[in-house]
């Protein structure tokens, strides 16, 4: 018995080095990736595995890294500058749209005190963003609570799926704002109506993606479950849930994206505190620079939400 184990250990060791060799080669390529084709030709000559350790000197590597960084950062910055330039050119000679400079000045004032509160209709931009985010969180939370289990059921039971799918296909293309009056009617108040709108628009991507994920669980895994005769609970927790997780996260990302799109419009209609309502209020006050600031703020918050979820998905995929 000992002999087997020793042998096995030896194989194991060999195989590990082989793996590491592969990985080292990958990093080498990754470093060279940012550089030009010529760079790449220079830096990926024969030596793989071990010579990586003694490989290109560290200064040379740093330079390559710098170049890669610049290559990644420069174009977006240039794009932004171009946008600012066009904006400046278009608004320089007066007109109703403020110049970038004027907008910046207004933004500095606005963000110097984001959390003031002078009654329900006059609050700092921080409060407005936070209350919009809160509405999104609540509406989205309920949608996840309902949508994810519903997606599991639809993916697992074909009859149910063919029963419900036509309804989903019918309701999904409806603009979420069309649901707002129903919300107002049922809840009699603006705030829950806006949350309801978020709920209804974020539920579809979660149902659809979760169901997709469940249907695409590899047959091999399900065969394992059948041979082991696992309980439904074990099947859900050990097999379905982990393999559906990436799909679910995609659903969540799409949901939050849509929710953030919709909240602005919903708040314009319902009023109260929130970034959408704020935009509408500033329009009534004819503070156009504030509207432009709001557009940037909405964009940036949306971007942060999306990137956070992408990062989360990547982390989970790496663990799996």
Partner 1 sequence: MDKFVQIEKVGMSFDTKKGKFVALRDIDLNIRQGEFVSLIGHSGCGKSTLLNLIAGLTLPTAGAMLCANREIAGPGPERAVVFQNHSLLPWLTCFENVYLAVERVFAANEPKARLKERTTKVLEMVGLAHALHKYPGEISGGMKQRVGIARALAMEPKVLLMDEPFGALDALTRARLQDELMKICDATQATTVMVTHDVDEAVLLSDRIVMMTNGPAATIGEILTVDLPRPRERLSLAHDAKYMEYRSAVIEFLYAKQSHPLAA
Question: Where along the sequence are the contacts to partner 1 (CB under 8 A)?
Answer: 1, 4-5, 7-9, 11-12, 15, 18-19, 220-221, 223-224, 226-230, 234, 238-239, 242-243, 319-320
Closer Cβ to partner 1, 134 or 243, answer by number? 243
| Shortest reach from residue 100's CB to partner 1, in Å | 49
Query: Could you tell me the smallest distance in angstroms from the CB atom of residue 248 to partner 1?
Result: 14
Measure Cα distances from 50 to 60, 153, 261 in Å: 18, 51, 51
Length of the chain: 320
Q: How many CA atoms lie within 13 A of 134 on its CB side?
A: 10
H or E segment to which residue 297 belongs: helix 288-319
Q: How far is the CB of 210 from partner 1 (least distance, A)?
A: 17
Least separation in angstroms between CB 315 and partner 1: 13
CB nearer partner 1, residue 8 or residue 186: 8
Q: Which is nearer to partner 1, 208 or 240 (CB)?
A: 240
276 close to 265: Cβ distance less than 8 angstroms = yes
CB-wise, 202 or 210, nearer to partner 1?
A: 210
* The two structure tokens encoding residue 187: 């809840």
CA-to-CA distance for 46 and 148, rounded, in angstroms? 50
How many CA within 13 A on the CB side of residue 218?
Answer: 5
Query: In the complex, what is the shortest distance from the CB of residue 33 to partner 1, in angstroms, rounded to a whole number?
Result: 23
Q: 19 or 300: whose CB is closer to partner 1?
A: 19
The owner of tokens 């990137």 is 307
Give the up-direction half-sphere exposure of residue 67: CA atoms within 13 A in the CB hemisphere. Answer: 16
Q: What is the DSSP letter of 98?
A: P
| 24 vs 50: CA distance, rounded Å | 8
The conformation of residue 34, written as its DSSP 8-state character, comes to T
User: Of 236 and 265, which CB lies nearer to partner 1 in the complex structure?
Assistant: 236
* Shortest distance, position 225 Cβ to partner 1, whole Å: 9
- Closest approach, Cβ 238 to partner 1, in A, equals 6
Paired residues of 117 in beta bridges: 123
């Amino acid at each position: 018995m000992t002999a087997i184990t020793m042998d096995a250990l030896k194989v194991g060791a060999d195989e590990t080095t082989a793996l590491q060799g592969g990985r080292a080669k990958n990093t080498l390529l990754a470093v060279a990736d940012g550089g030009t084709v010529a760079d790449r030709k220079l830096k990926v000559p024969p030596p793989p595995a071990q010579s990586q350790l003694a490989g290109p000197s560290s200064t040379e590597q740093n330079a390559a890294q710098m170049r890669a960084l610049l290559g990644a950062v420069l174009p977006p910055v240039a794009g932004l500058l171009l946008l600012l330039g066009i904006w400046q050119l278009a608004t320089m000679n007066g007109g109703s749209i403020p110049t970038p400079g004027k907008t910046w000045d207004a933004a500095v004032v606005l963000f110097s005190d984001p959390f003031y509160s002078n009654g329900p209709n006059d609050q700092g931009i921080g409060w407005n963003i936070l209350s919009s985010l809160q509405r999104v969180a609540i509406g989205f939370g309920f949608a996840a609570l309902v949508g994810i289990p519903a997606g599991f059921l639809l993916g697992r039971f074909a009859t149910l799926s063919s029963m419900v799918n036509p309804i989903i296909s019918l309701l999904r293309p409806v603009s979420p704002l069309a649901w707002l009056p129903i919300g107002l009617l049922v809840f009699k108040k603006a705030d829950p109506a806006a949350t309801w709108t978020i709920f209804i628009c974020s539920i579809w991507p979660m149902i659809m993606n979760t169901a997709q994920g469940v249907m695409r669980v590899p047959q091999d895994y399900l065969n394992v479950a059948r041979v082991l005769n696992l309980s439904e609970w074990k099947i859900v927790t050990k097999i379905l849930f982990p393999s559906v997780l990436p799909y679910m996260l995609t659903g969540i990302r799409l949901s939050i994206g849509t929710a953030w799109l919709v909240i602005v419009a919903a708040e314009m209609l319902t009023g109260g505190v929130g970034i959408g309502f704020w935009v509408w209020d500033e329009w009534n006050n004819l503070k156009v620079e504030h509207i432009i600031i709001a557009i940037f703020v909405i964009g940036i918050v949306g971007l942060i939400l999306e990137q956070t979820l992408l990062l989360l998905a990547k982390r989970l995929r790496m663990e799996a």
